[in-house]
Structure 1
Amino acid sequence: MSEPRHVLFLQSSSELYGSGRIILQVLEIYQKEGLTPIVILTGGGPITSELAALGIKYYIQNLGILRRKYMSPTGLWNRAQMNLKALKFLDELDETYKFELVYSNTLAVVVGAYWASINNLPHIWHIHEILKGPKVLVAFLRRLLDRSTPAPVVVSEAVKDHWKSKLRISKPRVIHNAIPYEEFLKGDFEQIQDLKEDVDNLVISMIGRINPGKGQLFFLDIAEQVLESYPHCKFVMVGDPFHGYEYIEEEIIRRINSGILKGNVINLGFRTDVPAILSQTDIFVLPSVLPDSFPTVILEAMASGKPVVATDSGGSREMVKEGETGFLIPIGDVNTAANSIIELVKDSDKRNLFGNKGRERVLREFGQTKFEEQTIDHLWLHLAKD
């Protein structure tokens, strides 16, 4: 029996939002290819039970994850100290596992690229971000990418276009996200209490982790305008805040408890029953106000057969076909967004047509088979087969 071939995976979050769900797909593929993943998490969270179910060993270690809140002298000093401790931890772990490949999921994890570089190991960076600044951070990541990662995976053409002009050596490769769609195709879920109080209500939902870029407050601006003429609409929000962005959640709660939004907006917070919520959604909205690299939730909504209204930026324009599966709206343009939603509110045939076309598109263009084939091909560019 041959010795196990260990791959080190460094994961930036223990949650099961987009990047967390995608890394689970990658881990399963690597297992099928005969490799043994070892995962390092920064803390406990929902992903740990998924790893346990896959039989994947994981460790908890502060990896000095980069966030905007650390972009200050004291914050950067803190990150440097955490990364030094993480480097020592990886050295010790390597004595046990003798890693052959390092895989860093998201640009927030930098220690893996540096550790792979100094240990002369192949490194894969899975880039989910379109990062505009700070300039010093972008420059640092550019240099580290060129030094450590010849062929980073990027989740969309938008991410590729953003980074390829900055990189001098690294050549990004697009592998569009894909997820298991079975749950979203079912459609036979029990009614969620209070989500649709009346058969005449139309449910307009958004799902996303609360942060400055996801556009929750823009969503509420849109809701106010739609409700002025169509009070039978029910707006639903799903998602909890990243640590440090609780103030946005507080503003959301303040707004939905006053004025025309009161009683017409439901804030569900973090939920694990997203397929059921989408099955009872009539129109899905993703109102990101910063470029969203390739939001997995749009794939989920399309697989659920729902028309999508999303901001015309980042990866959304690679997913939504304007006038066929939904509408693309300018960032921050409340009037255009509201009018696009109202067009769908008034036309059930169009909602059904867009939803059906969206489901066909997601299964054809963003299926798991294609994702798996591309991931396997990319993997064996970096390792020699036994």
Structure 2
Amino acid sequence: MPKTRNVLFLQSSSELYGSGKIILQVLRVYQKEGFNPIVVLTGPGAIQGYLEKENIPVYIQNLGILRRKYVNPQGLINRFNKNLKAYRFLSELHEKYQFELVYSNTLAVIVGAYWAQKNQLPHIWHIHEILPGPAPLVKLLSKILDKSTAKPIAVSQAVADHWQGFLKKAQIEVIHNGIPYGEFLDNFPNAKKELGIPESSIVIGMIGRINPGKGQLFFLEMARQLSLKYPETHFVLVGDPFPGYEPILDEIIEKIQHEDFEGKVSYLGFREDIPKVLAGLDIFVLPSILPDSFPTVILEAMAAAKPILATRTGGAVEMVAEGKTGFIIEPEDLETGVSQLSKLIEQKDLRNQLGEAGRNRVLSEFSLEAFEERIKKHLWEHLEKN
């Protein structure tokens, strides 16, 4: 049978956060190489509009995304039923497109690996997660990964190191994310004003999906201490809650309203104008308290020439050069976090120095061109072996 050049892409989230931004770049690489992507999203969202603008066929189907909260008898039954329906949907789609390859973005999508194996199709898994537990879930994912994917992609060495020890056959390749940086290099002279913040304020911000691991509450603890010490500071949080984690947002709003902030903290929710938001910051913080594989937002903040404070929770240590482009602290180390941010608040020259070094580093070490070349090379090597 002749090759169709049709590739099935399965995306775990329809939102434009890290994995969503990266899959858009992967799709463009595949198109340049002569392939026809067909994308299945687990639900409607911002990515759908981008795909439709680029004339990429997109389908909405609940893919039975596997998350920690489903690791219980009732949850597993629920996921089994959703995956069974998704499996049947993919089989129907295959009748129309006769896929040549299946690409699953994040380990939360498991149906593609199993479906590809049953249909004797090559499968690529792009791993964005570090998952310490629960053990049964890690064991299950490792087993499926080992059986279905000869050469998975990991977004960081931290991710590869976490999973490789569970695998007997599969050999993980690390491909650091790269994104278009053009908008983040632009100047937005009125950025603070458009955020409703006085130009004289020193603005410290974080951007991230609200979930138990991103550390928004830790960020607010640092903000509380710093706002008392430095009245000129203002703090910004950007990001909406992952479904099921709305109570964390409620707690964030309550803290902002009832603690000693007095208008010093702005919660902006989900924003599409991230380059402009970053331009309004003086310091960027990513205070993750659980493993964070390779947060794309750090690349964006570095491109925007912002000094970074991040936690030692995964890929951030591969991105931030300690003392040269920012600082790395231990998760929930309040004392050190406040101390390092105090240095940056007090020393404008240091902020500028670290920010410019970060911009230079991201453009040289994490370029979009390097990412595209490695994705292209991985694609052809994968097809040649199948």
Length-normalised TM-score, structure 1: 0.97
Once the 2 structures are TM-superposed, how far is the Cα of residue 262 of structure 1 from its aligned partner? Answer: 2.9
Q: Does 1:211 align with 2:211?
A: yes
Number of the residue aligned with 1:58: 58
Report the more deviating stretch, 103-112 or 163-172.
163-172
Structure 1 contact 189–276 (Cα < 8 Å) conserved: no
State the distance in 2 between where 1:248 and 1:188 align: 32
State the distance in 2 between where 1:14 and 1:356 align: 33
Describe the SS at the equivalent of 2:188: coil
Describe the SS at the equivalent of 1:21: helix
Change (3 A) 1:197 1:116: closer
Once the 2 structures are TM-superposed, how far is the Cα of residue 188 of structure 1 from its aligned partner? Answer: 2.7
Percent identity, please: 59
Structure 2 contact 192–281 (Cα < 8 Å) conserved: no
Once the 2 structures are TM-superposed, how far is the Cα of residue 191 of structure 1 from its aligned partner? Answer: 3.1
Once the 2 structures are TM-superposed, how far is the Cα of residue 43 of structure 1 from its aligned partner? Answer: 1.1
Once the 2 structures are TM-superposed, how far is the Cα of residue 197 of structure 1 from its aligned partner? Answer: 3.4
State the distance in 1 between where 2:244 and 2:359 align: 36
Structure 1 contact 9–37 (Cα < 8 Å) conserved: yes
Runs ≥4 in structure 1, deviation > 2 angstroms? 188-200
- 1:51-99 per-position Cα deviation (integer Å, ceiling 9, x unaligned): 0122100111111111222121111101001111111111111111111
Once the 2 structures are TM-superposed, how far is the Cα of residue 120 of structure 1 from its aligned partner? Answer: 1.1
Instruction: Report the number of matched residues.
Output: 384
Q: Show the 5 A alignment for 1:166-245.
A: 166-188=166-188, 190-193=190-193, 195=195, 197-245=197-245
Structure 1 contact 6–36 (Cα < 8 Å) conserved: yes
Change (3 A) 1:338 1:194: farther
Q: Show the 5 A alignment for 1:1-386.
A: 4-188=4-188, 190-193=190-193, 195=195, 197-384=197-384
Describe the SS at the equivalent of 2:382: coil
Describe the SS at the equivalent of 1:257: helix
Structure 1 contact 196–203 (Cα < 8 Å) conserved: no
Report the more deviating stretch, 285-294 or 191-200.
191-200
Change (3 A) 1:306 1:290: same
Describe the SS at the equivalent of 1:227: helix
Q: Which amino acid aligns with 2:333?
A: D
Q: Which amino acid aligns with 1:126?
A: H
What is the Cα-based RMSD across aligned positions, in Å? 1.3
Change (3 A) 1:192 1:231: closer
Q: Which amino acid aligns with 1:288?
A: S
Structure 1 contact 190–276 (Cα < 8 Å) conserved: no
State the distance in 1 between where 2:335 and 2:264 align: 19
State the distance in 1 between where 2:187 and 2:50 align: 24
State the distance in 1 between where 2:287 and 2:302 align: 16
- 1:192-247 per-position Cα deviation (integer Å, ceiling 9, x unaligned): 54636333210000000000000000000010111121011000000000010000
- 1:110-165 per-position Cα deviation (integer Å, ceiling 9, x unaligned): 00000011111110000000001110010001110110001000000000110111
Describe the SS at the equivalent of 1:261: coil
